[in-house]
Amino acid sequence: MHAFLLMFHLFMLFVRLNLCFTFCRIVIPPRLTNHPFQVLSPTLISGAALRLPLVESSSSAGELQGRLPFGGFLLFGDDSELSRLLLEMAQLPLSPVHAFLILLTTFFSFTVTPTCCSDPNGEFSVTDYETFAFHGDYSPPAPPPPLNATLEFYDDVYVEGLGNLIILPGVTLSCPVKGCYILVNISGNFSLGQNGAIIAGTVHIVANNASFGDGSLVNVTALAGDPPAQTSGTPSGTEGAGGGHGGRGANCLTDNQRMPDDVWGGDAYSWTSLDEPYSYGSKGGTTNREEHYGGEGGGRIRIDAAGEVEVLGSLLANGGDGGLKGGGGSGGSIFIKAHRMTGIGVISAAGGSGFAGGGGGRVSVNVFSRHDDTVYFAHGGRSVGCPANSGAAGTYYDAVPRSLTVDNHNLSTDTDTLLLEFPKQPLWTNVYILNYAKACVPLYWGRVQVRGQLRMSGGALLSFGLFHYPSSEFELMAEELLMSDSVIK
Ligand SMILES: *[C@@H]1O[C@H](CO)[C@@H](O)[C@H](O)[C@H]1NC(C)=O
Ligand SMILES: *[C@@H]1O[C@H](CO)[C@@H](O)[C@H](O)[C@H]1NC(C)=O
Ligand SMILES: *[C@@H]1O[C@H](CO)[C@@H](O)[C@H](O)[C@H]1NC(C)=O
Ligand SMILES: *[C@@H]1O[C@H](CO)[C@@H](O)[C@H](O)[C@H]1NC(C)=O
Ligand SMILES: *[C@@H]1O[C@H](CO)[C@@H](O)[C@H](O)[C@H]1NC(C)=O
Ligand SMILES: *[C@@H]1O[C@H](CO)[C@@H](O)[C@H](O)[C@H]1NC(C)=O
């Protein structure tokens, strides 16, 4: 407990007006903090930037209620404010940072002028930190051997720069806070090593190539921030109903006045962005007025890769479980855009289980050349209170063939997945409703038109019209209508 030491290895590259090469080690005296933390041994080889937002410290410097969201060689904000940033960083709240290893490398080389800590605008001297200068021909230390390590953040993290970001095997980058945003925006390759993990509310990766190694995990399950305004994904009332998103949440209420199909929990939303989903899932309902029990909504994962994406691990944006006293949260959003995709991973934005299950989320893949055997899940969550009525399936859209799949993974349900307006120009190619999914076109006058197949199988159901209107008109237009063990009504 006495070794409250923090070493910041800081390697900053100024590329705008002046080039400066800095390497500093900062030791925070023990009296400034109550939080234990260990020496960080990050390694970065120039050219990339790990940029963290400046969190205004809400407390006095003495308490050190700041954040220590950093353990690497960074390029912070505005170059001209560097020493001030260091000060602010030092005031940021210190988390129990265990150990951490990010290796940033670059293919870009700059002419750098080694100077260190010699021109801090006097601001270093007003801190309680010792700084150590490394002059002359400093060469970065050899990367430490891979280890299982966690770096925990408590606020958004932005990693930006020219170069590659390689998260070594076994390393976890974690910001287990609802809605916490981790952005990686780099010009080179991103790689999450074997058994490595990223945990946050939103994980957004922009890179040339992105690879997710064997056993790796991006988990935004139950870490949703706020769902879009004006949506009613979280049910009101105390029925312990599931949250809605890609599909409606289930509701176990039995009501003599209404048919089972007319009773649901949280409603569906974000239909118009099912090809590029980026909404959070919603929290499930509760069974108790005093306490809110529902499972949290699923978070968001978005990958924009100019080149290739390889998924050998799992990308999870499931809704959280609500247990016996709350509804399951709805699944979140996963969107992958790349030229090519390979791998045998798992991609899931399913609803959480609960008293009544949450609705599935939204998954979309926009990849020109697919060579993956990835499995996709966007089904609803299980309902403990009414096992025959799970949450409704969410949507899985494959943007290149323009195909929509609604699949409830054999979880029977009375709860609808709403299919709203179908695009007219160009038409979708195929629509698949599978494995007990129950889809509904809830319009008085509805038209479902696709260019290729409308296929229904495995106990699927497609209904048209509004429940309260005994008659409604619809048109179903498709090249082929394939139905097995399914119903249209
Ligand atoms: C890291 O964890 C993985 C599995 O979680 C294990 O196989 C590996 O041996 C661990 N590595 C170290 C250095 O502890
Ligand atoms: C990523 O960085 C590029 C170039 O700096 C910028 O144009 C783009 O908006 C960034 N993307 C995100 C999602 O921040
Ligand atoms: C990105 O990774 C590929 C192989 O996965 C490699 O051929 C390429 O050189 C890497 N790019 C950079 C910029 O390092
Ligand atoms: C992306 O990966 C492919 C194959 O893994 C490689 O050929 C290509 O050079 C990589 N692109 C970049 C920019 O690293
Ligand atoms: C993902 O996160 C959720 C919520 O924290 C957790 O329950 C689940 O076990 C995690 N999944 C994996 C594979 O670790
Ligand atoms: C659903 O049930 C069908 C028929 O029993 C079976 O062939 C299929 O593998 C099941 N699918 C899942 C995802 O369990």
Same domain, 120 and 249: no
Name the burial class of residue 256, with classes exposed (0-12), middle (13-18) and buried (19+) by CB atoms within 10 angstroms of its CB: exposed
Q: Which atom of ligand 3 is nearest to the CA of 188?
A: 13
Question: Domain for residue 259, yes or no?
Answer: yes
Same domain, 272 and 173: yes
Same domain, 159 and 117: no
Contact of 374 with 311, CB cutoff 8 Å = yes
Contact of 21 with 13, CB cutoff 8 Å = yes
Closest listed residue to residue 89, CA positions, set 71, 102, 104: 71
Question: Domain for residue 486, yes or no?
Answer: no
Q: Which residue is listed with tokens 């409603």? A: 267
Same domain, 189 and 100: no
Q: Does residue 29 have a pLDDT over 60?
A: no
Mean pLDDT of 309-321: 98
Looking at every residue in the chain, the average pLDDT score rounds to 72
pLDDT band with cut points at 50, 70 and 90 for residue 251:
very high
Amino acid in the structure at residue 163: G
Same domain, 117 and 218: no
- For ligand 3, the distance from its centroid to the CA atom of residue 189, given in whole angstroms, is 6
Among residues 395, 418, 441, which one ends one of the domains?
Answer: 418
Q: Locate 66 and state its tokens.
A: 């700041």
Among residues 385, 418, 451, which one ends one of the domains?
Answer: 418
Among residues 377, 392, 418, which one ends one of the domains?
Answer: 418
Same domain, 108 and 161: no
Question: Is 412 near ligand 6, meaning CB less than 6 Å away?
Answer: no
Identify the bridge partners of residue 203 per DSSP, sorted by sequence position.
182, 301
- Summarised one tens digit per residue, pLDDT across range 254-278 is 877 777 677 899 999 999 999 999 9
- Summarised one tens digit per residue, pLDDT across range 58-104 is 222 222 222 333 333 333 223 322 222 222 222 223 232 222 323 33
Mean pLDDT of 307-326: 97
Same domain, 44 and 121: yes
Residues 6+ apart with CB under 8 A from 81: none
Type and span of the H or E element at 86: helix 82-91
Domain that holds residue 331: 151-418
pLDDT band with cut points at 50, 70 and 90 for residue 172:
confident
Same domain, 93 and 156: no
Question: Domain for residue 143, yes or no?
Answer: no
Question: Domain for residue 323, yes or no?
Answer: yes
pLDDT band with cut points at 50, 70 and 90 for residue 421:
confident
Note the ligand closest to the C-alpha atom of 437: 6
Lowest mean pLDDT among 2-16, 162-176, 395-409, 417-431: 2-16
Q: Does residue 25 have a pLDDT over 90?
A: no
Same domain, 245 and 316: yes
- For ligand 5, the distance from its centroid to the CA atom of residue 217, given in whole angstroms, is 9
Same domain, 168 and 92: no
Note the ligand closest to the C-alpha atom of 217: 5
- For ligand 2, the distance from its centroid to the CA atom of residue 167, given in whole angstroms, is 20
Amino acid in the structure at residue 485: D
User: In total, how many domains does the chain have?
Assistant: 2
Q: Does the predicted TM-score (pTM) go above 0.85?
A: no
Supply angle C-alpha 81, 71, 48, rounded to 5. Answer: 65
Closest listed residue to residue 76, CA positions, set 101, 105, 50, 57: 50
Mean pLDDT of 368-391: 97
Q: Does residue 366 have a pLDDT over 70?
A: yes
pLDDT band with cut points at 50, 70 and 90 for residue 300:
very high
Q: 40: how many CB neighbours lie within 10 A of its CB? A: 22
- For ligand 6, the distance from its centroid to the CA atom of residue 397, given in whole angstroms, is 20
166, 191, 208, 212, best to mutate for ligand 4 pocket (most atoms within 8 Å of CB) = 208
Question: Is 189 near ligand 3, meaning CB less than 6 Å away?
Answer: yes
Q: Does residue 414 have a pLDDT over 90?
A: yes
Give the chain's end-to-end CA distance (angstroms, integer): 68
Residue 161: its pLDDT value, please?
A: 60
